[in-house]
A and B are shown apart, each in its own frame.
Chain A
Amino acid sequence: MELDAFKVAVDAWLDEHERELACDYEGVGTLDQQVAQLRKVMGMAYAAGFMRMGWPERAGGLGGSNLLRAYLGEVLTARDLVEAGIYSLPEVLAPTMIDYAPEALAAEMVPKLLSGDEIWCQGFSEPGTGSNLGSLACRATHTDAGWRINGQKVWTSLAQYAQRCVLLTRTGTPESAHRGITAMFIDMDSPGITVRPIESMHGAEEFCEVFYDDVVVPLDRVLGEVDGGWSIAMDLLPYERSTALWHRASYLHRRLGQLVSAAPAGTLDPTAVGEATQLLWAFRARSRATQRRLAAGETLGSETSIDKVLVATAEQAIFDLVAEGLGPDVATGDDPVSARWRAEFLYSRAATIYGGSAEIQRNIIARRLLGLGDDR
């Protein structure tokens, strides 16, 4: 289906099912409510076929261009039917499965993710491993029964809801750095996994500590090559900075629009509003070009770090304005609308941390795009 026809069909479907699709809570909701809403909307969009479009047929999709996925997430976010951050998780995780999992596994699992039947999580970060992903320590040992995993992950978003996890493990020697990492697809109900949710600053148990004690993973759950996990992580990052960010821009657009209509006269500096608007439009222009390159079959790479810096800068500029124009609501409002502005203002502070920090993006730009060589 072409993009224009898809837009018409999706819009009509959303209009028709407006009541059933709508959130049944006011304001930010609890994470339980957000996840339930997400599963409902994804389930309905999957049954209607829309959620399968833009994904390859061998993984249960209906084919077609990535632009269809980009539009679906954009419009679901614009209509405030899903929370963009958790909606976009499949954009990060499904491509990894499709490109690296054994074909039958991808065909079996990806539809469960897209239909909202399952939530998946991403186990990369560890207590000792944040920006320096190549230093991760969570150990996987080869045994006849399968890979035996021992270690700890942290900041694993939605782990308490997740049925599966894309996990990075250390299979080489501790010194093997990025050469000794292996990616695996884990069932979260495997014996030996303990999940401890952590309350984050914005008031939700968004992420978790996850402990792996002698967890056994079947040998055929390796993604890509043994010791080849680094390249999977690197291939995945540009996806993390493309369609998911287009969805995020739709959310920022909605919130900036709501802010300028809600902020009392005289509370916002027009120059700051102009700057934030320019930034968001520039991001959308750039992200749209990225979407089109993806649709034309190009491979994305380090240049998506520019997209990531731009969206994070725009998000923080917009929510800095929220803290000005709606400052009293953010600070002392206890009604659901204020609580939502507050939670989202706080969440925006993480925009330069997750998905590769702002500094790491600048390091990538300096090294890969500007050719400045080593930083030593």
Chain B
Amino acid sequence: MEASELELFRRGIRHATETCGDEALDAALDELGWRDALVADRNTAVSLLFEAQGSTVVDSSALDWLLAAALGGQDGGRTSVVLPLLRRAAPPGRVSAGRCEVHGLGTRTVARADETVVVAEADGGPVAFTVKASSLELRPVRGLDPALGIVEVTGDLNAAAGRPVDWEAAASVGQLAVGHELVGLARAMLELARQHALDRVQFGRPISSFQAIRHRLAESLVAVEAADGLLAAAWEDPSPVMAAMAKGLAGRSARAVARHAQQVLAGIGFTTEHPLHRYVRRTIVIDQLLGASSVLTRQLGEDVLERGTLPPTLPL
């Protein structure tokens, strides 16, 4: 994208996420040409939108579209895609003896779309099935973050007609997308805490003058920038290892910022009248989407120890 075009796009995305609710955001994204941008410049389309979604705690069908497109769907990425259960990054289905057993999660798009893509582990590698939404059982989940509108998906499908897909590649871009959303959440929580620190007066001075508060906020900025920098690097070298590493760090960073922001905001941040709780809820749920930070971090360490070598370095 050219600089002027990029700026327009950026502003469009920001405006859409700030003004649209979850339902209206899909239409606004279509109007902005987000899906064309996804084809032309995936890095920009994904990083801008998902960070903006995080900073406003809104949600769209973009993750489904992104995964569907990465799985090579024929519909221009219109369908929804069944996600792994929380913590996990492996495909949500398993093929054996001619049947495909499905147990995963869906965004609210799954409930809306006519068709959905299920990826399953099979003997010859992952395969995808495009099925009618009505052939799956959907249980709406309330849980920690009811606003997210996720559903638990189960099913037992006929396993004929699966097409081979590169699930790892699709999951990797999904991880980068969720990583950017976590960075957006973390930046927004830091900003809520920063503003509160400047406004709130105790002992006759703004609490922003207390070093314990300042260092928590400084620590938060370091965490956010570390995650953001690693995500940017992962786009330059898009490998499953880098994507998982970047998402793992983004999740850890967002959780750390959530902790600091909660402490700085204290009583007011513990109420549902203050927006912080929505960010904290979203952080803890989406950190676990496509691989929880704890799992990804441990997995990275196990791989490194098992091989006795580090992942490829970032060249200058």
B227: interface (CB < 8 Å): yes
With A306-B221, A369-B221, A372-B217 as contacts: A288 and B316 at CB distance below 8 Å = yes
Interface contact A260-B222, CB-CB below 8 Å = no
Let me know if B214 and A363 touch, CB within 8 A.
yes
- Contacting pair B316 A275 (CB below 8 A): no
CB of A274 closer than 8 Å to a CB of B: yes
Contact A370 B313, beta carbon cutoff 8 Å: no
User: Is the beta-carbon distance between A269 and B316 smaller than 8 angstroms?
Assistant: no
**A372, B227: Cβ atoms under 8 Å?**
no
Do residues A281 and B233 form an inter-chain contact, with CB atoms below 8 A?
A: yes
Cβ-defined contact, B313 with A373, below 8 A = no
Would you call A310 and B226 a contact (CB within 8 A)? yes
A3 CB within 8 Å of chain B: yes
Decide if B310 touches A362 in the complex (CB within 8 Å).
no
B211 x A278 contact (CB < 8 A): no
**Which of A30-38, A66-74, A210-218 is the contact stretch?**
A66-74
Chain A interface, number of residues (Cβ within 8 angstroms): 52
Task: With both chains docked as a complex, state the minimum distance between the C-beta of B239 and any C-beta of chain A, in angstroms.
Answer: 12
Query: Which residues of chain A come closer than 8 Å to B211, judged between CB atoms?
Result: 363, 375
Q: Is B219 an interface residue (CB 8 A)?
A: yes
Find B316's partner among A70, A282, A363, A375 (CB 8 Å cutoff). Answer: A70
In whole angstroms, what is the CA distance A286 to B253 when docked? 15
Distance (Å) between the CB of B261 and the closest chain A CB? 13
CA distance A362 to B220 in the complex (A): 10
Across-interface contacts of A246 in B (CB, < 8 A): 316
Residue of B nearest to A75 (CB): B316
Given contacts A70-B316, A289-B232, A376-B209, contact A260 B297 (CB under 8 A): no
1/0 contact string of A276-314 vs chain B (CB within 8 Å) = 011101111110110100000000000000100110010
Residue of A272, A275, A282, A362 near B215 (CB, 8 A) is: A362
Q: Within 8 Å of chain B (Cβ to Cβ): is A366?
A: yes
Nearest neighbor of A303 in chain B, beta-carbon distance = B225
**Which of A71, A253, A365, A367 lies in contact with B222, CB distance below 8 A?**
A365
- Least CB separation from A262: chain B residue: B308
CA gap between A375 and B209 in the complex, in Å: 4
At the interface with chain A, which of B43-51, B144-152, B298-306?
A: B298-306
Question: Does B249 lie within 8 Å of A282, measured CB to CB?
Answer: yes
* Chain A residue contacts of B294, Cβ below 8 A: 271
Whether the pair A279, B226 counts as a contact (CB closer than 8 A) is yes
Q: A274-B298, A285-B232, A375-B214 are in contact. Are A71 and B316 (CB under 8 A)?
A: yes
Q: Does A328 contact B (CB under 8 A)?
A: no
Q: Beyond A291-B316, A370-B217, A372-B194, is A275–B252 a contact (Cβ under 8 Å)?
A: yes
Closest to B242 in A: A281
CB of B245 closer than 8 Å to a CB of A = yes
Q: What CA separation (Å) do A273 and B211 show in the bound complex? A: 31
* A18 CB → nearest B CB, Å: 21
Q: Which residues of the partner chain B approach A279 to less than 8 Å between Cβ atoms?
A: 226, 249
Give every chain A residue within 8 A of B248 (Cβ-Cβ): 274, 278
Q: A270-B298, A278-B300, A288-B314 are in contact. Are A362 and B198 (CB under 8 A)?
A: no
- A292 nearest in chain B by CB position: B316
Contact of B300 among A257, A269, A277 (CB under 8 A): A277
A277 to B219 Cα, complex, angstroms: 19
Contact residue among A3, A67, A286, A376 (Cβ-Cβ distance under 8 Å from B229)? A286
Cβ of B197 under 8 Å from chain A: yes
Q: Does A359 make an interface contact (CB < 8 A)?
A: yes
Residues of A within 8 A of B113 (CB): none
Partner of B310, one of A257, A265, A285, A310: A257
Indicate if B98 sits at the interface (CB-CB under 8 A). no
A365/B309 contact (C-beta < 8 A), A275-B252, A277-B301 known: no
Q: Which residues of A contact B316 (CB under 8 A)?
A: 3, 67, 70-71, 74, 246, 288, 291
Would you call B308 and A260 a contact (CB within 8 A)?
Answer: yes
A339 interface hit (Cβ, 8 Å): no
Q: Does B297 contact A275, Cβ atoms closer than 8 Å?
A: yes
Residues of B within 8 A of A375 (CB): 209-211, 214
B-facing residues in A307-361 (Cβ within 8 Å):
309-310, 313, 359, 361
- Give a binary string over B194-219; 1 marks a CB under 8 Å from any A CB, 0 the rest: 10011000000110111100110111
Q: Which 3 pairs, one residue from A and one from B, show the smallest C-beta to C-beta distance?
A: A270-B301, A274-B301, A273-B301
**A-B CB contact pairs (8 Å), 28 listed:** A3-B316, A70-B316, A253-B310, A256-B310, A257-B309, A261-B308, A270-B299, A271-B298, A272-B301, A273-B305, A277-B245, A277-B301, A278-B252, A279-B249, A281-B314, A282-B226, A285-B230, A285-B314, A286-B229, A288-B233, A291-B316, A310-B226, A313-B222, A359-B215, A365-B222, A366-B215, A370-B194, A372-B217
Which of B's residues lie within 8 Å of A, judged by CB? Answer: 194, 197-198, 205-206, 208-211, 214-215, 217-219, 221-222, 225-227, 229-230, 232-233, 242, 245, 248-249, 252, 294, 296-302, 304-305, 308-311, 313-314, 316
7 more A-B residue pairs beyond the given contacts A257-B309, A265-B305, with a C-beta to C-beta distance below 8 A: A270-B298, A273-B304, A274-B298, A274-B299, A282-B227, A282-B229, A282-B249
